[in-house]
Structure 1
Amino acid sequence: MGITKLADLIRSDAPDAVSYKDISDYTGKVIALDTSVVLNQFRAATPSLSPLTGVFFRTLTFLEHDIKPVFVFDGKPPVEKTPVLERRAQAAGWSPPKRTGMASSQTNDAIELLKHIGVPVIQAPGDAEALCAQLVRVGVVDAVASEDMDTLPFGANVLIRQLNAKRDSEVMEYSLPKLLEKLQINHEELVDLCILLGCDYCDKIPGLGPKRALTLIQKHRTIENVVLHINRMTHPVPHFWKYKEARKIFLDATENTVPELVWTEPDEEAVVGFLCHTKHVKEERIRHRMKTFHKNRENRREQRKMEKAAGYTRQTRMENFFRITRKREQPVEAPSSLGDGNKRPRSK
């Protein structure tokens, strides 16, 4: 779920915080992906098939564009998130989540596949989006790719949505510094705003819409002060409201150790052995995709060399200055790159 109606609020009150881009704009960038979002997208789109095939195809698309993906997996979720996870599982017809911190068989399969493809994998101690945000803050990655808006209150300076391989699709990039500037609030006040809008870690005040919530935060600055200035009859404050616990989760400044990030060439035989011989995906399909991957990546690299030699630079598209108010479309994906043993320094 992320943050209820935060995207709509940004579109109406801080449109300059959003820019529209193309997947190729991220060539050479290191992007952290909230992997559970990717897996759930494919689970929902093709419930009768394993999401691993989708992960394989999407990752190669990233690499074709020389985008460097870092896949971050969820760890043990905060206890405050349990009710939300149970509701989501029930609605989707999935098994209820277990708060053991142990990786599921699907997670283990995805990790094995991604290692065969040659991209870094990181296990977060808690929610993946929190660690993704930290990776951006400390400069280990350039941006976070996720459909969950709660990456912003976690402190990710750059959030990318709809980063995928679909043709003519637009990538939406959110700038946290611009968002705070346009809304005239600081990061702590944004966290309180997101709690009022509705987050995964506590209930919200009933009947309090996004416009009203923003106005109250801009005027009173904290949830404690907001509660003193609302009509408790029309906007009853939840009993035993755990907004302080939710606030702490978003603002937790714990710095986690990040392993050295290394990208290598995909191991085609290992991928085939895993997907085709273990997961029974048609080998012809995987071989064909690997062949087109190498061809497409080389073609794009040659094209960039020619453009660089000719002094070509990408211009910001004029649509970035105009098309701001339309509704968000279906999520898109992102690209990534490498295979030449490129390394990213570990954070200190």
Structure 2
Amino acid sequence: MGVKELWSILSPVCDKKSLWELEGKTLAIDLSCWVCDSSHFAGSQPNTYLRNLFFRTTYLLQLGAKPLFVLEGKAPQLKYKTIRRRLNNDKGEGQQTNGKEGKVIRSRLSALQKQCVELLSCLGVRCITAPGEAEAFCAHLNMKGLACGVVTQDSDVFLYGGTEVYRNFQLSPGYCCDVYRTATIEERLGLTRERMVALSLLLGCDYSEGVGKVGRESALKFVRSVPHGQIFDR
């Protein structure tokens, strides 16, 4: 989810780090990503998402990290079409549409999040419901310095202003995760936040299908060649 092909584009600057390096850090965690990862895992047992959440969270607490879980709020209207498409492709997501009001209700996700909040409250971990998309609020906390980094699988976190992003958490045997930093992305790939937003409009994202017949290499060449402040006009 997020911007089409962005994770692949950013792969050259992916830095694999030991989870020990998260010691003492405040982390804004996109809860829905951990839930969906566990729910879609092949051969997963019932309530795998709760089991994985428990072990990941307790490990972070043992490290002295301070996890702050962010729940999905109301889906932006621009995303309704995308959610309806996912509903048609995967009935297991449990997302429903209300034809009268045109609202999208992520009912199953809400139910799973409620169970996760109950577990996390028993562990003494705080949860916050975002006003909209969880990764957007996580990015806001990171940008304002209230969180050292964001834990999510959604690549559009960079477009919302996230500056340090952790992805693909792995406990035993590796105890590691992938780390992306916007400073490195800009220095080595020439991709600023503005340019990544432009990429999302060209290649497609959760809010737009992109521009037809514009591929990854053409989009990258374009955004890198146009001066800042002129990209959207062009």
TM tier, smaller: 0.7 to 0.9
Offset of residue 210 of structure 1:
1.5
Mapped to 1, the partners of 2:188 and 2:33 lie a distance apart of: 28
Mapped to 2, the partners of 1:47 and 1:126 lie a distance apart of: 29
**2:80 maps to which residue?**
82
**1:42 maps to which residue?**
38
Aligned residue identity for 2:83: L
Find the structure with the greater CA-based Rg. 1
Aligned to 1:141, what secondary structure does the other structure show? coil
Contact 1:161 1:173 in 2 (8 A): yes
Query: Which protein, 1 or 2, shows the higher relative CO under an 8 Å CA cutoff with sep ≥ 6?
Result: 1
Contact 2:28 2:68 in 1 (8 A): yes
Aligned residue identity for 1:137: M
Contact 1:37 1:146 in 2 (8 A): yes
Mapped to 2, the partners of 1:135 and 1:59 lie a distance apart of: 19
**1:6 maps to which residue?**
6
**2:146 maps to which residue?**
140
Aligned residue identity for 1:8: S
Mapped to 2, the partners of 1:54 and 1:153 lie a distance apart of: 28
**1:186 maps to which residue?**
192
Aligned to 2:3, what secondary structure does the other structure show? coil
Unaligned runs of 5+ in 2: 98-103
Contact 2:35 2:112 in 1 (8 A): no
**2:95 maps to which residue?**
96
Mapped to 2, the partners of 1:175 and 1:10 lie a distance apart of: 10
Offset of residue 55 of structure 1:
1.6
Offset of residue 223 of structure 1:
4.0
**2:101 maps to which residue?**
none
**1:323 maps to which residue?**
none
Mapped to 1, the partners of 2:176 and 2:125 lie a distance apart of: 25
Offset of residue 39 of structure 1:
0.6
- C-alpha deviations, 1:217-247, integer Å up to 9, x for none? 122352441xxxxxxxxxxxxxxxxxxxxxx
Unaligned runs of 5+ in 1: 226-348
Shift in alpha-carbon separation, 1:170–1:53, aligned structure 2, 3 A:
closer
> TM-score, structure 2 length as denominator?
0.85
Contact 2:20 2:63 in 1 (8 A): yes
Shift in alpha-carbon separation, 1:171–1:204, aligned structure 2, 3 A:
same
Mapped to 1, the partners of 2:90 and 2:106 lie a distance apart of: 21
**1:168 maps to which residue?**
174
State yes or no: 1:126 paired with 2:123. Answer: no
**2:161 maps to which residue?**
155
> Which of 198, 202, 222 is matched with 2:231 structurally?
222
> Which of 18, 22, 25 is matched with 2:18 structurally?
22
Q: How many pairs were matched up?
A: 221
Shift in alpha-carbon separation, 1:219–1:162, aligned structure 2, 3 A:
same
Aligned residue identity for 1:49: P
> TM-score, structure 1 length as denominator?
0.59
Query: What's the C-alpha RMSD, in Å, of the aligned pairs?
Result: 2.1
Aligned residue identity for 1:63: L
Contact 2:203 2:209 in 1 (8 A): no
